[in-house]
Amino acid sequence: MHTPDHPSHPHPPRIEYLKVKNYRALHDLELKDLQPFTVFLGPNGSGKSTIFDVFAFLSECFTIGLRRAWDKRGRFKELRTRGSEGDIVIELKYREQPDDPLITYHIAIGEDAKGPYVAEEWLQWRRKRSGKPFKFLDFRSGSGEVITGERPDEKDERRQETLDSPEYLAVNTLGQLAKHPRVSALRRFITDWYLSYLSADAMRGLPEAGPQEHLSSIGDNLPNVIQYLKEQHPGTLNTILSALSERIPRLEKVDAVLLADGRLLIQIKDAPFEQPVLAKFASDGTIKMLAYLTMLNDPEPPRLIGIEEPENQLHPRHLTVLAEEFRAASTRTQVLVTTHSPIFVNALAPEEVWILYRNVQGYTQARRASDVRGIREFVEEGAKLGDLWMEEYFPFDDPERLQSRLKHAEQAEQAKYTT
């Protein structure tokens, strides 16, 4: 990945742990030691999109409010795991900087006759490795307490607070106040997440002219971002176009052109032709790769980027280098990706990949590739993860085959000691 012309940024906050209960197929899912670049692999229906939607749901609770995020997803009837009666629970553990204490954010959401409400919400950290966890925000159904201060501790001021409604999130409400720096930091972190639903068709439009700093979730303002980079960060734009020309043979130039009616048009010039072509005539792959490179080289990147199935509309030969771009970007922001492309997975390391599958009850389970017996050794010998998946070394998409394989492995292990 090329180096854009942005100043160095402090290490972004990083989520290291995710726990989800009663959220659709995620009846009781726990993911530990998440990496800056983490990929969720699995067949259709394995739960990849549901994990992605957990982040989208939480982000929307902070930006458009719990009730609207709830309504969009069909309320408890569609959101809560079928057959379950408990609250929906989401728990994150994250660090603001690599050497900072691990902070836990826990939120439990219930529903009553009036609609959704925050049954429980708390923040805690362990200031010292040997110390016990200390809650510095603790709310139940709209009432609770928060500890003020830069590094909240027992000796700091403890304030009782009541929110206007139990459907309001305490972190979102109190995080707007400067006297709660750690709460504010979490609010900024979550509201800055970028979840990508890029559409090649949306990126072929003609938006109104005017520079815009960041790509929208569907990418329909790509010409505006190109215009912004052209005016404010020409070095970054050159970086993007250099990388694009390496990925797309014979591509010479990309430009955002102002039309007479005030709209912006992306033009793409190929080497053999004197005249550039309009974006609407460019290939899906060219437009999609341009959008990914623009997103990843943002001079002020979002603090978390989520991307669903980047292989869609891209030629398979681009997937290896795209994985390299994602990994390089993860030094500046956390990158979470879902995929079912073995070619993309071939470019990944075992610790970067979580394999998702459904158990016999239909609930999503997850295992890190590096924790599956023999996988590290195979990779060290030159095998690739995507090939191993296709060769059924991860038989988790078929619970019966998984049980059979585990049974045979146990029998083989016992046979070692009986012969």
Closest by CA position to 376, among listed 398, 390, 368: 368
- Give the mean model confidence (pLDDT) for residues 127-140: 83
Q: Are residues 29 and 157 in the same domain?
A: yes
Q: Are residues 270 and 323 in the same domain?
A: no
Is the CB of residue 285 less than 8 Å from the CB of residue 318? yes
Q: Which amino acid, 418?
A: T
Structural domains in the chain (count)? 2
Q: Are residues 122 and 253 in the same domain?
A: no
- Give the mean model confidence (pLDDT) for residues 15-27: 95
Q: What per-residue confidence (pLDDT) applies to 61?
A: 95
Q: What per-residue confidence (pLDDT) applies to 262?
A: 63
Q: Are residues 243 and 108 in the same domain?
A: no
Q: Are residues 238 and 341 in the same domain?
A: no
- Whether 210 shows a pLDDT value over 80: the answer reads yes
Closest by CA position to 88, among listed 97, 102, 72, 75: 75
Rg, the chain, Cα only: 24
Helix, strand, or coil (residue 133) = coil
Which has the higher per-residue pLDDT, 127 or 228? 228
Listing from the earlier edge strand, what are the strands of the sheet with 193-196?
A: 193-196, 304-308, 334-339, 37-41, 353-358, 364-368
Is the residue at 214 inside a domain? yes
Q: What is the DSSP letter of 370?
A: G
Is the residue at 164 inside a domain? yes
Q: Which two tokens stand for residue 63?
A: 């930006």
Is the residue at 73 inside a domain? yes
Q: Are residues 207 and 352 in the same domain?
A: no
Mean pLDDT, the chain, whole residue set: 85
Q: Would you tell me how many other CB atoms lie within 10 Å of the CB of residue 376?
A: 15
Q: What per-residue confidence (pLDDT) applies to 305?
A: 96
Dist. CA 135–CA 411, nearest whole Å = 47
Is the residue at 306 inside a domain? no
Using CA atoms, how far residue 413 sits from 197, 396, 417, in Å, is 46, 20, 7
Q: How confident is the model at residue 296 (pLDDT cuts 50, 70, 90)?
A: very high
Which CATH number is 151's domain given?
3.40.50
10 Å CB burial of residue 27 (0-12, 13-18, 19+) is: buried
Q: What is the pTM of this model?
A: 0.85
Helix, strand, or coil (residue 294) = helix
Is the residue at 188 inside a domain? yes
Q: What per-residue confidence (pLDDT) applies to 32?
A: 95
Is the residue at 415 inside a domain? no
Least confident piece of the model among 39-48, 201-210, 300-309: 201-210
Q: Are residues 139 and 20 in the same domain?
A: yes
Q: Are residues 186 and 213 in the same domain?
A: no
Q: What is the DSSP letter of 152?
A: -
Q: Would you tell me how many other CB atoms lie within 10 Å of the CB of residue 281?
A: 9
Is the residue at 301 inside a domain? no
Which has the higher per-residue pLDDT, 262 or 403? 262
Q: Are residues 57 and 113 in the same domain?
A: yes
Q: Which two tokens stand for residue 10?
A: 């402090």
C-alpha angle with apex 400: 397 to 402, nearest 5 degrees? 60
Is the CB of residue 192 less than 8 Å from the CB of residue 302? yes
- Whether 402 shows a pLDDT value over 70: the answer reads no
Q: How confident is the model at residue 259 (pLDDT cuts 50, 70, 90)?
A: low
Residue 243: domain span: 203-296
Ramachandran region of residue 336, left (φ > 0), alpha (ψ -120 to 50) or beta?
beta
- Whether 282 shows a pLDDT value over 70: the answer reads no
Q: Which two tokens stand for residue 283?
A: 């290939």
Q: What per-residue confidence (pLDDT) applies to 366?
A: 93
Q: How confident is the model at residue 407 (pLDDT cuts 50, 70, 90)?
A: low
Q: How confident is the model at residue 30 (pLDDT cuts 50, 70, 90)?
A: very high
Q: How confident is the model at residue 3 (pLDDT cuts 50, 70, 90)?
A: very low
Q: Are residues 149 and 258 in the same domain?
A: no
Q: Which two tokens stand for residue 240?
A: 């993007």
- Give the mean model confidence (pLDDT) for residues 135-145: 94
- Whether 330 shows a pLDDT value over 70: the answer reads yes
- Give the mean model confidence (pLDDT) for residues 123-144: 86
Dist. CA 257–CA 231, nearest whole Å = 13
Q: Which two tokens stand for residue 381?
A: 């010998």
- Give the mean model confidence (pLDDT) for residues 126-143: 84
Q: Would you tell me how many other CB atoms lie within 10 Å of the CB of residue 291?
A: 21
Q: Which two tokens stand for residue 91?
A: 């728990």
Dist. CA 255–CA 352, nearest whole Å = 35
- Give the mean model confidence (pLDDT) for residues 128-145: 86
Q: Are residues 32 and 73 in the same domain?
A: yes
End-to-end CA distance of the chain: 54
- Give the mean model confidence (pLDDT) for residues 256-272: 64
Q: Are residues 33 and 170 in the same domain?
A: yes
Is the residue at 46 inside a domain? yes
Ramachandran region of residue 47, left (φ > 0), alpha (ψ -120 to 50) or beta?
left
